[in-house]
A and B are shown apart, each in its own frame.
Chain A
Amino acid sequence: MSVEKIPVKKARPNDYTSEHHPVWCPGCGHFFILRALTKALAWLNLDKENIGLVSGIGCSSRLPAYLDVYGFHGVHGRALALASGLKLARPDLTVIAAGGDGDGYSIGGNHFIHACRRNMDITYIVMDNEVYGMTKGQPSPTSDPDWHSKLAPKGTGLARFNPMGIALASGASFIARGFSGDPNGLTKILTEAIEHKGFSLVEIKSPCVTFRPEQKDWHHAMRLMNVTLTANPMEAAQAIYGSDGFDTGIFFQADMPVYEAEAANEKPHSDSASMESIEKALLV
């Protein structure tokens, strides 16, 4: 009698794509992030029904529709809050939040800080094109101070927001920069980020062909996977503040306390026994 070979399920990237095709502008960097994400998920062989992908509003936040996982296309700026609730209620899920620079760093700025601080086991993918694309090209927190736009004809004159610096200061335990034009490096970063236990910021430079055509030059400027990983926040701060924004790789990864569901621990009593003791405490 021959022993039957039990086929091991080996996921492929296409298993994770939905029936809907992305309609981002041809040439948009987000296409490559979507693909890198499905490749990371396939490499990790995650069951797609156990993945929660939450987004806000913006071009990048259309992501959940393109994946065959449990998705949530919420309101502008609040993806991390929604993802935090989901992760706490369902610690068994792989929870990923995704959005753009405006969504995450401007309207969602407070949630960004506190999601880093909680260090819940969530992967946060920011597709940073330094512009509000969906409202037709207004300067975002990561735009250069001298970038001219209709809304700021002389540029904003404001220094760029430093998401990785903020993340480090706020307590995120995994901080990386990727480039959508480096699908291989990006896939590696996303894989590590999802695997990492704790809050992972993956800040991805992702060119906007429509409102920032000059970002096509990023292709030449980016230094691919040149960063040295450290678990020391002082060294990470130096690397983050020392970078001109074109270095990629994992800047910081450390084993730090993770905010987790209390109820995930074994519940000692049945619901009815617990309820009885709760009501008993009310008695005169």
Chain B
Amino acid sequence: MKTHPFLKTHNKNLAWVLAAVNEMIEESIYYCDTFSHTLQAHHNEAAAAIFSALSPYFKSEQAIVLTKLPEQDLPNIPPWEIPHQDYEHPANSLMQAHYLMTEHEAWSIVNDIIQIHHCFYRDLLANTSQQEVIDLITSLQTHCLQCEKICATKKLPAKTDEDNNPLDDLDAPVAQS
């Protein structure tokens, strides 16, 4: 696979790590809130609740970052930067969303987002020798694991019949213009 032109390859110091992690978490929070809202608007309260339930967890994850350095002191990193080779944007999993999604599907997407966080943290740990980065990432990972656990419990039981055969909307879509 060709290297992404915006891949960040060096100078991954603590300040950058804080900024990059903050950038990623902020995306996750934004999308959890946004998708919770649109799912509510589409009257899929169950799936909406899952996204809104995860939002506070991401916010406390962000708080860990911001206690190290307040937001206004974080370095300005380009928003198109790819923080590591295997980086996936939270958007990737959200593109699988649909308005009739089941709770199982919602938990899966949320879990995917957590895995994206995990993946970044693992990469950072593997490629750093800076103790303060290691300490930070360790506490972020601990937090992430808790989230993962919640997902794992809630996701069960694995798949329902509905997941295998998603419900069809009995009504046709509504023309708006």
Contacts and interface: CB of A to CB of B under 8 A. Distances in A.
> Do A's and B's CB atoms come within 8 Å in the complex?
yes
Interface of A: 7, 10, 12-14, 21-27, 29, 31-32, 35, 39-40, 42-43, 57-59, 76, 134-137, 180-185, 187-188, 191, 207, 209-211, 213, 216, 219, 224-226
20 contacts: A13-B30, A21-B34, A22-B34, A22-B37, A25-B98, A27-B95, A27-B98, A29-B95, A31-B94, A134-B177, A135-B176, A136-B173, A184-B89, A187-B79, A191-B79, A207-B95, A213-B98, A219-B92, A224-B4, A226-B2
A25 B42 contact: yes
Given A26-B98, A136-B175, A209-B98, A181 B92 contact: yes
A14 B80 contact: no
Given A31-B31, A32-B95, 10 more contacts: A21-B38, A22-B38, A23-B42, A25-B42, A26-B44, A134-B176, A134-B177, A183-B27, A184-B6, A184-B82
Contacts of A180: 91
Given A27-B98, A134-B175, A185-B80, A225 B6 contact: yes
B98 A135 contact: no
A7 B28 CA distance: 27
Contact of B4 (A26, A135, A225): A225
A245 B101 CA distance: 30
B6 A188 contact: yes
Nearest to B29: A14
B38 A57 contact: no
Contact of B91 (A14, A21, A32, A225): A32
Nearest to B90: A183
B37 to A, nearest CB: 4
Interface in B82-98: 82, 89, 91-92, 94-98
Interface string B21-34: 00000110011011
A53 to B, nearest CB: 18
A225 B89 CA distance: 15
B34 A31 contact: yes
B170 interface: no
B173 A137 contact: yes
Contacts of A210: 99, 173
A218 to B, nearest CB: 9
B55 to A, nearest CB: 13
B78 interface: yes
B108 to A, nearest CB: 13
Given A26-B99, A29-B95, A135 B38 contact: no
A24 B38 contact: yes
A79 B97 CA distance: 30
A184 B79 contact: yes
Contacts of A76: 177
Contact of B72 (A7, A31, A134): A7
A26 B35 CA distance: 6
Contact of A23 (B41, B72, B78, B172): B41
Residue of A27, A29, A225 ringed by the most chain B CB atoms within 10 A: A27
A12 to B, nearest CB: 8
Nearest to B42: A26
Nearest to B77: A43
Contacts of B91: 31-32, 35, 180-181, 183
Contacts of B172: 136
A25 B94 CA distance: 11
A32 B91 CA distance: 7
